[in-house]
């Protein structure tokens, strides 16, 4: 189920090419590596020109996917708002 602290689930992607995220609650560590190709999918949504608007929309989208659709989390790994800010979604 989606946690109440939505902000903790959307971290700006840092500029490092490789990083490891370790958890203390028993989950496996996550390793992030450079990629050589990606698939881009877009959703029909309003244009967000600021990071604040983007963060608000990302939280709304996560609630919609998790609560309304009953999914375990947001349906995207990474999201980009209209201002070009990148957010980390589903692990």
Per-residue model confidence (pLDDT) at position 17: 61
Average pLDDT over residues 36-64: 82
Helix, strand, coil tally for the chain in percent (to 5): 25, 15, 60
Q: Residue 15: pLDDT band by 50, 70, 90 thresholds?
A: very low
Per-residue model confidence (pLDDT) at position 1: 39
Assess whether pLDDT exceeds 70 at residue 36: no
For the chain, percent of residues with pLDDT exceeding 70: 77
Average pLDDT over residues 66-70: 91
Selected from 3.40.80.10, 4.10.520.10, 3.40.50.920, 3.30.9.10, the CATH number assigned to the domain covering 39-91 reads: 3.40.80.10
Phi, psi dihedral angles at 26 (to 5 degrees) = 95, -10
């Amino acid at each position: 189920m989606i946690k109440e602290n939505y902000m903790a689930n959307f971290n700006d992607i840092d500029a490092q090419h490789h990083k490891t995220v370790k958890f203390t609650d028993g989950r496996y560590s996550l390793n992030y590596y450079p990629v050589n190709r990606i698939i881009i999918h877009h959703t029909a949504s309003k244009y967000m020109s600021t990071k604040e608007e983007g963060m608000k929309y990302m939280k709304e989208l996560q609630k919609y996917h998790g609560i309304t659709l009953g999914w375990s989390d947001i349906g995207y790994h990474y999201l980009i708002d209209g201002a070009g800010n990148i957010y980390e979604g589903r692990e």
